[in-house]
Amino acid sequence: MKILNLRDLEEKIKVEEDGNTYLENAKKKAREVGLRTNKLTLADDSGLEVEALGGLPGVESANFARKGASDKENNEKLLKLLEGIPFEKRKARFRCVMVLYDPFEHMEEWVEGSVEGFILDHPRGEWGFGYDPLFFIPELGKTLAELPLEVKNSISHRGRALMAIKEVLKKRYRV
């Protein structure tokens, strides 16, 4: 089996993420790409959810400050909204929903992965992207941006979702 990503395809496919949930966005991306390529397709959507902000930024994580915002702008908006809120009330989680779509059977299965932590009041770490420098994992005593990639991938929301989808592939396709 050969695994491709969107950059490997001759046709450039861009799917607008306009759903209200991670699942809606992941399903839309998986279906559109699967139907256009006639290939088994895996797509995901993910975001950061902060309890003190009622789950924000959520599905709008990438565009939290504004559409097309930089990581720095999104982090600044998040920190501004959390000003004055003590660390113990800054509980957060990263969530990822992955959808596997089979265009031949018109079947889809989905899984979810998450990682729990807290939002710091200043960034720490040089690795990662997005909210990683603010997302602190107490058990490790580090932010996601302070972890080597192999450690981050093994405990992250996407890493956990990938492990779950691997089980779906084994069961369904004996891969």
How high is the pLDDT of residue 5?
86
User: What's this model's pTM, rounded to 2 decimal places?
Assistant: 0.92
Assess contact for 82 and 136: CB atoms under 8 A: no
How high is the pLDDT of residue 3?
81
How high is the pLDDT of residue 85?
98
Report d(CA 157, CA 115) in Å as an integer: 5
> Domains of the chain: which residue ranges?
14-173
Assess contact for 159 and 147: CB atoms under 8 A: no
Active site annotation includes 102: no
Distances (CA, A) of 56 to 47, 133, 140: 9, 17, 24
Give the pLDDT means over successive 10-residue stretches in the chain (175 positions).
81 91 98 94 97 98 96 98 97 98 95 98 93 97 96 95 95 85
- Find the catalytic residue in 18, 45, 71, 121: 45
How high is the pLDDT of residue 11?
83
Q: For the domain bounded by 14-173, which CATH number is listed?
A: 3.90.950.10
